[in-house]
A and B are shown apart, each in its own frame.
Chain A
Amino acid sequence: MDTILHFFNEQLIMIYLLIFTIILGFEVISKVPTVLHTPLMSGANAVSGVVIIGAIILVRRAAPDDMLQLSLGTLGVILGMVNVIGGFAVTDRMLEMFKKKKK
């Protein structure tokens, strides 16, 4: 119990942010027309590549001779970047098709 309370105190700001973002997320996205289900999923998927930030910080913190950390971190950067670039590019391709038939 003590450790939980301690953790709660340490992370208070993050916990606020967590809860408010959950509420915000559901409010902002809740009404999606069927036509946008795939692009929303794919765009959101690209946003989940934000985990790359962690990978970059991991590599920057690693000692220059710590091959394990450097390799894991760089692997993370590669995986995250494929997710980010691929995700946004694919979503844009989809949305481009939706756009051009509007006229």
Chain B
Amino acid sequence: MLLPSLVKFFYLVGAVAFVWGLRLLSSPDSARRGNILAGIGMGVAILGAMIEPIVNASNNYLWIIVGLLIGGVVGWLSAKKIQMTAMPQMVSVFNGLGGACATVLAAAELTKFYENVSPMTTGELGIAVFTLLIGAVSFTGSMLAYGKLDGIVKDKNVILPRHGIINLILLIIVVVLFVWLTIEGHTASIWLAGLFLLLSLIYGVSFVAPIGGADMPVVISLLNSFTGIGAAAAGLIYGNQIMLVGGILVGAAGTILTVLMCEAMNRSLLNVIIGGFGSTGGGGASTGTDDQVAKVATVNDVAIQMFYANSVMFVPGYGLAVAQAQKTVKELDDLLEANGVDVKYAIHPVAGRMPGHMNVLLAEADVPYPKLLDLDDANSALKDTDTVIIVGANDVVNPAALDDPSSPIYGMPVLEVWNAKNIIVLKRSMSAGYAGIQNPLFFHDKTKMLFGDAKDSIQKLVQEVKNM
């Protein structure tokens, strides 16, 4: 009598901890407590699942404990060992494993159904088939995203000709099979379900394949919400409230982030999924700037300019992550601050390869977060800034987004760095950004280019400023 109600209480505590934990996670001061609270909620829920009374259960606790130990050790070690700069990849992998778990559950339940071990209503069957699908898409999609973020997979190697159409056809087949399996019930064979699983796995890869580079933050958030929805759907299979609540919360968080990322680029989700920037005629926008010459600065010029400025604003982009220059930037920041220069950072929401990527990198380098300005704050502060240093950012500072309707990124909100007094661009070469678009900013009156590896250049700047 007592145990069943106790378990329900465990699940309730877990669910409340999830809600409250995620709430705390959306404010900087309470975020860490929020994460720990959600973790405790998970512990309570797992304990609940271990002791929940199940009719005729053979329990098999040994299997579970072995599984928990293996998973726990692997998870703990990978989380502790991973470099902070490899964080986007790691999150992607974890996300994919959650999706895989949902798919495995659905596969196990469906096997029982087709072998006539346990019956399902049409509704339950539909949910199980849906769980199989969304978990599989989330799994292979996240694994490909991992490959892309890690640089193992190059965007151009996985995009097929007419990829949009291939994806559409694949999606239609998957949806038709989904409906078919749900309606037919036992008359459909387990092999058809197997084919469906295979196609779902392929669809995950194919769906993420054409999305790359600057669009990664969108797809990462989207995959995150898929895993949540998968967990919630699995919760419906088991009639388990905490799985439903946890899954839906994650689905909501992922969806909110996806929408935020799309808004930051002023593009619809459909536009991101169907076509990358590159396919929409990036060539046309670059023609006007061919005969222009960019002004080149020396390390000494830049060092003097920063040293005597009242305010300096760094604009980091993916290049900062690639060059691993965050700690060197912080060193330069400290030197300048010591000399009375006000140093700030302008963070574009889609700078980098995942939501908030730059914030994590700079946090690793101990940059206090009040120094990081978001798009709106940065744009108002830029008017009173003496020198802007652009470190490996390109498309997010492209003025064409505001004034060139033929540009593929026209309409995307950007950091209006040209309102500052001087602009210094740290860049390897004059090559175009991810979007393949030439950036008129580089030829702007106020702009000077400092060529070379970002970390290298900043190290030289640190040296120069030290000598002043």
Q: Does B90 contact A (CB under 8 A)?
A: yes
**Residues in A whose Cβ lies below 8 Å from that of B78:** 82, 86
Interface string of B251-282 (1 = CB under 8 A from A): 11111110010000000000000000000000
Query: Are B45 and A69 neighbours in the complex by a CB distance under 8 Å?
Result: no
B378 to chain A, nearest CB (A): 10
Contacts of A86 in B (CB 8 A): 74-76, 78-79, 90, 94
Q: A55-B101, A79-B101 are in contact. Are A101 and B363 (CB under 8 A)?
A: yes
Given contacts A54-B105, A57-B240, A60-B54, contact A34 B374 (CB under 8 A): yes
- A57-B54, A74-B66, A82-B75 given; A47·B256 CB < 8 A: no
Write out the residue numbers on chain A whose beta carbons fall within 8 Å of the beta carbon of B124: 7
In the complex where A14-B241, A35-B369, A77-B71 touch, is A24 in contact with B19 (Cβ < 8 A)?
Answer: yes
CB contact under 8 A between A49 and B79, given known A39-B356, A83-B101 = no
User: How many Å lie between the Cα of A56 and that of B28 in the bound state?
Assistant: 34
Chain B residue nearest in CB terms to A26: B252
A64: shortest Cβ distance to chain B, in Å?
Answer: 5
State whether A29 and B71 are in contact (beta carbons under 8 Å apart), knowing that A49-B98, A72-B108 are contacts in the complex: no
Instruction: Looking at the assembled complex, report how far the CB atom of B168 sits from the nearest CB atom of chain A, in whole angstroms.
Output: 28
Task: Give the chain A neighbours of B97 by CB distance below 8 A.
Answer: 79-80, 82-83
CA–CA, A34 and B80, complex, Å: 24
CA distance in complex: A95, B45 (Å) = 24
Contact indicator B25/A83 (Cβ below 8 Å):
no
Quick check: B22 and A74 within 8 Å, CB to CB?
no
Instruction: Tell me, in angstroms, the Cα distance from A54 to B132 when the chains sit together.
Output: 14
Q: Are B91 and A53 in contact (CB under 8 A)?
A: no
* Complex Cα gap A4–B34 (Å): 39
A46's contact among B57, B94, B220, by CB below 8 Å, is which? B94
CA distance A98 to B84 in the complex (A): 13
Contact assessment for B260 and A32 in the assembled complex, using a CB-CB cutoff below 8 Å = yes
What is the CA–CA distance of A4 and B182 in the complex, to the nearest angstrom?
12
**Within the complex, which residue of B71, B102, B240 is in contact with A78, where a contact is CB–CB below 8 Å?**
B71
Closest-by-CB residue of A relative to B252 is A25
Report the bound CA distance from A75 to B67 in whole Å.
7
Which residues on the B side are within 8 Å of A46 (C-beta)?
A: 35, 38-39, 42, 94
- 393-452 of chain B: CB within 8 A of chain A: none
A7 to B122, CA, bound (A): 8
**Nearest Cβ in chain A — how far from B116, in angstroms?**
14
- Shortest distance between the CB of A62 and any CB in chain B (Å): 6
In whole angstroms, how far apart are the Cα atoms of A102 and B246 in the complex? 30
CB of B364 closer than 8 Å to a CB of A: yes
Q: A36 touching B25 by the CB < 8 A rule?
A: yes
- The proximity string for A residues 61-102 relative to B, scoring 1 for CB distances below 8 Å and 0 otherwise, is 111100011101111111111111111111111111111111
Question: Known: A29-B256, A41-B224, A57-B52. Is A85-B72 also a contact (CB below 8 A)?
Answer: yes
Most chain B CB inside 10 Å of its own CB: which residue of A35, A40, A51, A57: A51
Q: B67 contacts which chain A residues (CB < 8 A)?
A: 55, 59, 73-78, 81
B19 proximity list for chain A (CB < 8 A): 24, 28
**B347 vs chain A, min Cβ distance (A):** 6
- Name the one of B22, B57, B75, B231 contacting A81, with C-beta atoms under 8 angstroms: B75
Per the bound structure, the CA–CA distance linking A53 and B323 in Å amounts to 41
Chain A nearest CB: distance from B71 CB in Å?
3
Of the candidates A44, A74, A99, the one having the most CB atoms from chain B within 10 angstroms of its own CB is A44
Contacting residues of chain B (191-243) with chain A, CB-CB under 8 angstroms: 220-221, 224, 227-228, 230-232, 234-243
B70 at interface, CB cutoff 8 A: yes
CA distance A52 to B252 in the complex (A): 19
Give every chain B residue within 8 A of A47 (Cβ-Cβ).
18, 21-22, 38, 42, 228, 246, 249-250
A80 and B105 CA atoms in complex are apart in Å by: 11
A11, B58: Cα distance in complex, Å:
27
Q: Is the CB of A53 within 8 A of B45?
A: yes
> Contact partner of B257 among A37, A52, A83, CB < 8 A?
A37
Contact of A82 among B32, B71, B104, B260 (CB under 8 A): B71
Closest B residue to A25 using CB positions: B252
User: Nearest Cβ distance between residue A87 and chain B, in whole angstroms?
Assistant: 5
| B87 sits at the interface (CB 8 A) | yes
Q: Are B49 and A48 in contact (CB under 8 A)?
A: no
Decide if A44 touches B250 in the complex (CB within 8 Å): yes
Chain B residues near A30 (CB-CB < 8 A): 256
Closest to B372 in A: A35
20 contacts between A and B (CB under 8 A): A7-B122, A10-B121, A21-B245, A40-B257, A48-B231, A48-B250, A50-B45, A53-B235, A54-B240, A70-B60, A73-B67, A77-B63, A77-B64, A81-B71, A83-B97, A86-B74, A89-B75, A92-B35, A98-B369, A101-B363
A41-B257, A42-B87, A93-B84 given. 16 additional CB < 8 A pairs?
Answer: A6-B121, A29-B26, A35-B372, A36-B27, A39-B360, A48-B246, A50-B45, A54-B240, A55-B105, A57-B240, A77-B63, A82-B97, A85-B76, A88-B39, A97-B366, A101-B367
Give residues in A with beta carbon < 8 Å to B.
3-4, 6-7, 10-11, 14, 17-18, 21-22, 24-26, 28-64, 68-70, 72-102
